[in-house]
Amino acid sequence: MKKLGLPIALLHMTVAFIVVGIVAFVCADYENEKNDSRHLTEATISVWDVKTSGGPKSEFKDPWNSNADLLKIGEAAFKQNCADCHGSGGMGDGPTGMTMTPRPRNFALATGWKKDRKVSNIFETLEKGLEGTAMGSYAGLKLDEKFGLAHYILSLGPRPQSDTTADLNRVGIDPSQPGGGLGPRPEIPIDLAIELIAES
């Protein structure tokens, strides 16, 4: 029985080698697969995709143009998210807004706006907020809520300015695509997202 000691130890070592080999092989394969999918996603997404929020696709073909349904969606979202500061009629006189300096924008007036009164600019303000002010980002709202809000608050004041294709493109809207080409983003690895934002 004693004689068997050495061969059994050898057998254990061989088995251990085989196990380590299999694990290393599987890991290397996984790394390769990860790299492959990275190449694919890198080619199909832009930096804007990473920076803007997801949310379901628009229900409308051209949500940058106003319609009665979008106005209704906008009015409901306004009451829920904005009226406390901007006031129920959008005149910058909500209960919280009254305590602020500067006061929230009065949407009934065309004066005092930081950006031109255009759908594209309001869409951008909702995505990013106005830096250094109490106006925060509402990127988490649904896509049609953002468009609806833009149309609704513009409807409270004088006739707004029209967007050019370049204006829409600037904020990531492609008017040649249904819904502006906006919608659920392809999922990408978090490290790639950080890389893309850092490069931009």
Helix (H) / strand (E) containing 20: helix 5-44
What is the per-residue DSSP string for 99-123? G-SSPPP-TT-SSS-SS-S-HHHHH
* Residue 104 interacting with ligand HEC (CB under 6 A): yes
Choosing from 49, 54, 108, 113, the residue that interacts with ligand HEC (CB under 6 A) is 113
Which residue type sits at 54?
G
Region of 13-21, 47-55, 111-119, 174-182 interacting with ligand HEC (CB under 6 A): 111-119
* Residue 81 interacting with ligand HEC (CB under 6 A): yes
Angle made by CA atoms 174, 186, 145, in degrees to the nearest 5: 55
Among the residues of 135-183, which ranges form H helices?
143-155, 165-170
* Residue 91 interacting with ligand HEC (CB under 6 A): no
> At closest approach, how far in Å is the CB of 127 from ligand HEC?
11
Record the tokens describing residue 167, joined without a space: 């204006």
* Residue 106 interacting with ligand HEC (CB under 6 A): no
Residues that bind ligand HEC (CB under 6 A): 81-82, 84-86, 96, 100, 102, 104-105, 113-115, 121-122, 125-126, 130, 133-135, 138, 149, 153
